[in-house]
Amino acid sequence: PGPGLPFLPGCAIKDPTKTSFHRPQTLDFKNGYAFSRLPREGVGGDTLFANQLSQDELDDLCTKGATLTYGQVKRSAPSRFTPAFVAYDKKVLKFDAYFMEEVPISAEEHYRIRQVGLYYYLEDDSMCIIEPKVKNSGLLQGKLMRRHRVPKNEHGDYYHWKDLNLGIDLTIYGRTYRLVNCDSFTKVFLESQGIVVNPPEELITDPYTEKHRTPAPKRIVPAGPDPFRQFLAYDTKVLRFYAIWDDTNCDFGDHHPCIIHYFLADDTVEVREVHKRNDGRDPFPVLMRRQRLPKIFVDKNKNFPSCVLEITDHEVQEWYSPKDFAIGKTVTLLGRTFLIYDCDKFTQDFYREKYGITDFQPLDVNKKPLEKVPQVIPPYNGFGIPEDSLQNCLSLFPKPPRKDIIKMLENNLKVLRYQVALESPVPEDKNRRFILSYFLSDDTIGIYEPPVRNSGILGGKYLKRTKVTKPGSTPENPIYYEPSDFTIGSTIEVFGHRFIITDADEYVLNYLERNAESFPAATVQSIRDHFLPRKVVVETTSSGIPRKDLDELIVEVQKELKLQEPFNTRQFHEAFHHFDKEGSGFLDKTRFLNICDRFNVPSSTILLKKVRWKGCCACG
């Protein structure tokens, strides 16, 4: 009803917007047990206001009755409703029972007693029957009937706990169960419900099982010789010998390690071959199957066939016995000769007790290691590089030598180029010039000859890219040319051809100066001295002197020198370098005139003035 209206018919207002009318959940589970709790919200999710009355006041209001004379009569509070699946949660009645099963196909038993346990679940009135499993019983045991409500009759009734008691027959699905006993909880529950529990009965056991459970009478062993005495005394007792089968007299023969087993129970012998990993033999473990092996045959008639299917006792005079096996003996088994060199501890104890043998020193049958023949590397034949040719001597399938990948990545596309001249007694080779390229990525050398027109020599690739060894190095320890070996004026021998380095690329100087700590100082200084005159000319050209005037002065000096007698140009250059100790490329007038007088070179006063003037302009 709305606010201020009594709760009477016609005063209630129904909310048309409300669509949810579900009741709140009052049942819950905690630690696997079901319990009931007070609702936290009203019907349809409405908010419940806090109760301001105590539980006793609420009980009084529930039990208050209308009276006019004697006042209100107090009644006891009604018990709280608890559903059955909460009140009887995890409460089970357990009965011990058995049933009789016919056995029509056995001559030893006509029926079989099978003991079961009948479980009745109070929470939903369901039942299940479980038979304890017996090992090696041959029966399908375990849960015989799954948990469900069991029908009682054809009218649709189901079995109830009121129908269960001790000493009664319970027919379920055509099989009659006899209830003989129950547990304490079941007995207390039935008595609390007013049911008189019958006295328990004895659980009947299966007569066939009891018959076979009784111990069999012991067999009296006769005092005389018994054919089974040996089997009973030595069953599972085996003598083990370690032997070597020598098969070297056959083609591709070898020494085969074997194990000889002698079974004391029936005097049979078995030989097993010991295989090792990658020994190249077929993996057949048994060399000779377990059998009695003849030692001496009876003299037989010559007409008797030598090949028979089976060997009987009449054809054998003596069989192999334990006394025929010992350490150091050689035994012949079916045509194979075995040398026994050791045995196990059980075999030693057996021979010590029965035959009094105490010496069990094993023989040394290990092969002496073969002397390793040193590998002789043949001399280098000149084809390819020595490392590549050496792989043919180390492996049947040669592999290419390993490369330094890090070095190849760091020095990729880095090439040092030099101009070399061929040192040859042939006059036509004196004017030939070559480009020698040194590849820093793999230390290889390639030589290329620039083609010269009308020279009569085809230019092109002179040496393909390969490693070049120094003279005097051996194939076992080859020493290859390095960048530190290339200096101006040095001689490089490449497969019998001698080359003289006459010039280098400017990149060579820059690379050597950047990595000066990795190369000798003489190599760096040689390249630096070679590039110093070019550097002076470049500086002079860039200093402001016109190129045309400088070229005209050079032409006049050359004409003046041509008019004189020929002189040693090499010594003239060495004298200039000797007096230019600072390496600046310049000399003063006094020293220049002294050098000219020393080599008898007449000097013109006009030219000297021009040279001096140009030099002053260059110096700035």
Residue 9 lies in a domain: no
Q: Is 509 exposed, middle or buried (0-12, 13-18, 19+ CB in 10 A)?
A: middle
Position 166, amino acid? L
CA 452/CA 454 separation, integer angstroms: 6
Q: Is 371 exposed, middle or buried (0-12, 13-18, 19+ CB in 10 A)?
A: exposed
Judged by DSSP in three states, 462 sits in strand
Are residues 468 and 488 located together in one domain of the fold? yes
pLDDT at res. 57: 75
Position 555, amino acid? V
Are residues 232 and 340 located together in one domain of the fold? yes
Are residues 123 and 167 located together in one domain of the fold? yes
E strand or H helix at 210, and its extent? helix 207-213
Residue 452 lies in a domain: yes
Share of the chain above pLDDT 70, in %: 81
The answer to whether residue 311 scores a pLDDT higher than 90 is no
Note the pLDDT tens digit of each residue in 124-170.
Answer: 999 999 999 988 888 899 999 999 999 999 888 999 999 999 999 99
The answer to whether residue 616 scores a pLDDT higher than 60 is no
Residue 392 lies in a domain: yes
The answer to whether residue 332 scores a pLDDT higher than 60 is yes
Note the pLDDT tens digit of each residue in 35-93.
Answer: 888 888 888 888 877 666 677 777 777 666 655 555 556 666 667 777 888 888 889 99
CA 586/CA 582 separation, integer angstroms: 9
Any idea what the CATH number is for the domain that residue 511 is in? 2.30.29.170
Are residues 532 and 592 located together in one domain of the fold? no
Note the pLDDT tens digit of each residue in 512-546.
Answer: 999 999 999 999 998 888 888 666 555 555 555 56
Are residues 399 and 439 located together in one domain of the fold? no
| φ, ψ at 147 (rounded to 5°) | -75, 120
Q: Which of 519, 540, 561 is at the close of a domain? A: 540
Yes or no: say if 77 and 64 are a contact pair by the CB < 8 Å rule: no
Give the residue from 551, 443, 437, 457 showing the smallest Cα distance to 504: 437
Give the residue from 311, 344, 340 showing the smallest Cα distance to 324: 340
Tokens of residue 511, six digits = 């690379």
pLDDT level of residue 619 (50, 70, 90 thresholds):
very low
Contacts of 366 (CB under 8 A, 6+ apart): none
List the helix and strand counts (H, then E) for the chain.
14, 22
CA 232/CA 238 separation, integer angstroms: 13
Its domain, for residue 520, covers: 413-540
* Mean pLDDT, residues 559-585: 66
Q: For the whole model, what pTM was predicted?
A: 0.37
Give the residue from 289, 260, 263, 259 showing the smallest Cα distance to 274: 259
Note the pLDDT tens digit of each residue in 435-479.
Answer: 999 999 999 999 999 998 888 888 899 999 998 889 888 777 888
Residue 566 lies in a domain: yes
Yes or no: say if 186 and 179 are a contact pair by the CB < 8 Å rule: no
pLDDT at res. 614: 44
What is the torsional sign of CA 595, 599, 605, 606?
negative
* Mean pLDDT, residues 566-581: 69
Position 43, amino acid? V
pLDDT level of residue 620 (50, 70, 90 thresholds):
very low
Are residues 169 and 89 located together in one domain of the fold? yes
Residue 27 lies in a domain: no
Are residues 427 and 349 located together in one domain of the fold? no
Residue 251 lies in a domain: yes
Residue 154 lies in a domain: yes
Q: In the chain, how many domains are there?
A: 5
